[in-house]
Amino acid sequence: MKILVTGGAGYIGSHTVLTLLEKGHEVEVVDNYDNSSPESIRRVERLTGGSVVLHEFDLREEERLTELFATGAYDAVIHFAGLKAVGESVAEPALYYGTNLESTLSLVRAMAASATRTLVFSSSATVYGERAQVPYVEAYEPLEANNPYGKTKVMIEHILGDLAAADDSWRIGLLRYFNPVGAHPSGEIGEDPAGIPNNLTPYISQVAVGRLASLGVFGDDYDTPDGTGLRDYIHVMDLAEGHVVALEHLAASPGIGARAWNLGTGTGTSVLEVVAAFEKASGVEIPYEVKPRRAGDLARSYADASRAKDELGWVATRGIDEMCADAWRWQSQNPQGYRA
Ligand code: NAD
Ligand code: WQD
């Protein structure tokens, strides 16, 4: 298939582009490098021996996107592009609603003006909100989120669902990722957050490599076995493979409409268990201090992963030790990320 990947130079995008190339697909990327650099794609090309056509522009430039679809003859689109920092979204809601919603609307209008109707969207476990019970099942309603970033995911799921309901030529996969971590086993590509990381494993990696002094553990008084938050960490390579099988499933499923799949392992791992696994993988002690709970955090979040298994034949195969070993290989080989 010929696939257009938006945000393909980013963390999950670059690993998915690599997996698509390895499976023999043709790939083009649109990215404005707002949170990435073309270096990730250059490394993907080196690792795979493949080549990727890069289009550098903002998805909100709808005319350019429409031109691309007029000539591209894409079989499908994977839509990763967007802003993703929860705290920043609370401080700058207009930026988040503007970027994430306008980019997606621009994309679906450009697709509607072409023959391409197959779309995989990066949704998030955040759409289950604070009231759903673990393990989260896709049929749960109503979707809700407690911050502007998460609300853009809920809104986009509704927009894409409405599109598919209005026109049955659309085939849309809504992939609800849990907590993506790890890196390609080569250590050549990985997660490279700008500034101080918001997420747990990049923060731990930067402590291990000496860029940060100590980890703050946000709360040890949750109702969980060791008091720290439980999350469903999923290896980014498992996630990348999930995109490919979702695309293949959509390609074989006329009339499917919009369908949600959780991409998670189905198990919760605590903050202290991640710290221990990372110490084991790296051989480096991670100093930490317990801090107050972070606003908006849940005690636990993990998937019921059975729908993806039953319908896509997909299960996550890599555990927390492999996630930490691969994250460490990337971080130790690239202490300053792609900027080195
Ligand atoms: P990322 O920031 O590494 O990748 C996003 C990419 O999109 C970047 O390369 C960025 O430059 C590009 N981009 C952003 N706005 C753009 C625009 N207007 N036009 C063109 N390009 C633009 O993030 P990621 O972690 O790879 O996440 C990819 C997607 O998955 C996002 O939609 C994110 O919300 C979603 N997601 C991520 C996580 C996570 O924890 N990483 C969890 C659930 C869902
Ligand atoms: C994991 C656990 C923290 C940092 C976020 C978004 C979510 C999704 C994935 C996109 C929690 C604890 C963290 C630290 C800590 N993104 N922690 N010290 O919050 O589950 O999910 O990323 O859709 O929308 O909210 O991930 O990695 O930030 O936190 O103790 O310095 O680690 O409290 O228990 P989270 P995270």
pLDDT (tens digit per residue) in 285-314: 999 999 999 999 999 999 999 999 999 999
Does residue 337's CB lie within 6 angstroms of at least one atom of ligand 1? no
- CA 122 and chain centroid, separation: 6
Q: Give 49's contacts (C-beta < 8 A, 6+ positions apart).
A: none
Atom number, ligand 2, closest to the C-alpha of residue 84: 10
Mean pLDDT of 185-211: 96
How many whole angstroms separate alpha carbon 328 and alpha carbon 176?
25
Q: What is the pLDDT of residues 60-80, one digit of tens each?
A: 999 999 999 999 999 999 999
Distance between start and end Cα atoms, the chain: 34
* Atom 5 (ligand 2) nearest CA: 199
> Is residue 199 pLDDT above 90, yes or no?
yes
| Whether residue 85 sits in one domain with residue 172 | yes
How many whole angstroms separate alpha carbon 153 and alpha carbon 176?
9
| Whether residue 241 sits in one domain with residue 224 | no
Atom number, ligand 1, closest to the C-alpha of residue 40: 9
**Residue 302 falls in the annotated catalytic set:** no
191 Cα: distance to centroid of ligand 2 (angstroms): 15
List the catalytic residue out of 11, 74, 149, 177. 149
Mean pLDDT of 75-88: 97
Structural domain of 59: 2-181+234-264
271 Cα: distance to centroid of ligand 2 (angstroms): 9
CATH value at residue 135: 3.40.50.720
Q: How far is CA 272 from CA 20, 158, 225, 286, in A?
A: 34, 36, 10, 10
Mean pLDDT of 136-147: 98
| Whether residue 81 sits in one domain with residue 225 | no
The pLDDT, as a whole number, for residue 137 is 98
Q: What is the pLDDT of residues 13-36, one digit of tens each?
A: 999 999 999 999 999 999 999 999
| Whether residue 77 sits in one domain with residue 30 | yes
Q: Give 122's contacts (C-beta < 8 A, 6+ positions apart).
A: 7, 12, 78, 79, 80, 82, 175, 177
| Whether residue 39 sits in one domain with residue 128 | yes
The pLDDT, as a whole number, for residue 339 is 87
| Whether residue 123 sits in one domain with residue 11 | yes
